[in-house]
Structure 1
Amino acid sequence: LKLAEYYGVADKVFKYDTIPDDPPAEITKVTVEPVVLNLTHRNFMEIIFENRETAIQSYHLCGYAFFAVAVETGQWSPEKRKNYNLLDAVSRHTIQVFPKSWAAILLSFDNCGMWNIRSEVWDRHYLGQQLYVSVVSPNKSLRDEYNMPEGTLVCGVVESMPRPPPAYT
């Protein structure tokens, strides 16, 4: 996915922001496609993981840390924010969501790149329960993101394309 962004052909591989902020009451159609959220560099974000099932769920943010601010039973609602631990929340990479419960995490995407949030339950991970977060540098600066390394292997739609010039200076 990051290669498609780097080569400027992301629109041939995926679409940004294809899922709503709030889950639908009933799922009537399932589309198999990469889910990529397009986020603004250094924006603050709240993510709620809700588990309506009877088995524990575990989610991992690959290469990034977040603050686990709440884990409670029941269904999440905006009023639950008053229970968040904003004083000494723990920095983590993985969070567990217990059956019939929810968990809230807070983070700021201050590192540019493509980040993966995925289920750590192996069968769900295998079936693709994951999404990606794309954070593009607004300044095109090496301070925020490195260029693609020279020896990077390419595949898919970019395999036969000429290598683009370095994106960041």
Structure 2
Amino acid sequence: MWHFPNCLGAIDGKHINIQCPINSGSTFYNYKGSHSIVLLALVDADYKFIAIDVGAYGRNSDDGIFSNSAIGQKLNGKTFNVPESAPLIDNEEPQPYVIVGEEAFLPKPYLLRLYSRHHIGGNEPNKNFNYRLSKARRVVENAFGISVARWRCLRRYPEVQPEFVWERKAKWQR
């Protein structure tokens, strides 16, 4: 669909603004100048959420949140139920399945991100790779936009303490 074979989906974090929690200091204060918890999501080509992790502190980076999340730990531990490697073209060596992310994520064997401007230069294959990866990664941004449009409460500041979010998260994971 994206001309990016063996791609399971795109990953990103979305800051959900909250009121400043009681006695939280700067724990939830993010780079955007507000308090938030982060919704980390892995989304497929059909805008379906494959996996989510919610409740990380707004001050944390996307990669830090990913590394500590159940999603990141399962991918690192190879327990995420990823299909076996498959060839991209007939009679070619099998290639692993991957996810794509923005520059905030550190590259891993299963996580690809854009080449930096320094590595592109006049290199057409790298430009083509970046174009296709950007197209594939856009789906997670669109899925967040669709979610916010559908559940307008995500636009406002929920008037609950973070413990309420984590309590609900624990119930959903059972």
TM range (shorter): under 0.3
Flag the structure with higher strand content. Answer: 1
TM-score using structure 1 length: 0.25
